[in-house]
Amino acid sequence: MSDVSRRHREDLAGHPDEMEMRERYNRVMGGSDVALVDAPLFLAGLYAAVSPYVLHFTGSQPSLSTNNLIMGIAVAVLALGISRTENMRGLSLAIAGIGIWLAFSPWIVGRHPDAGMIVSNVVVGAVILLLGLVSAGVGLVRRGRRRREAAAAYQR
């Protein structure tokens, strides 16, 4: 039986598929910087969904708690989709819109909201708005980078 554990490992230099492997690695690992945006966005969506139950305003504000549950789940699902595929990055602006809606919904959906409800919704709405805009900005930067790379490859 051959001793494969003692084999000398070389880098990719000289490998026939070196360029393709490096490009694939860069394409796969290119999304790791967005994890700093997508994960907090997912968590903010989960918080928006459970905040009525944590802050105990489900009984006094049933319409606001239903609104927060639906919008929070929507943000969490969209954040998961954005983190999985780059094609959904355009929906980041929709997430920002949901953040604006969450910030103003206590006065639109709720009836005489108290300070805890207002602060919770305004803060989570602002966080979701900011993260949605950052995610959209990352998508625009990546799209521009891909276009420049395609143009450079076309000119070669």
Residue 65's closest CA among 123, 100, 104, 105? 105
Q: What is the pTM of this model?
A: 0.75
User: d(Cα 131, Cα 36) in Å, to the nearest integer?
Assistant: 10
Summarised one tens digit per residue, pLDDT across range 23-72 is: 776 666 655 556 778 899 999 999 999 999 998 887 888 999 999 999 99
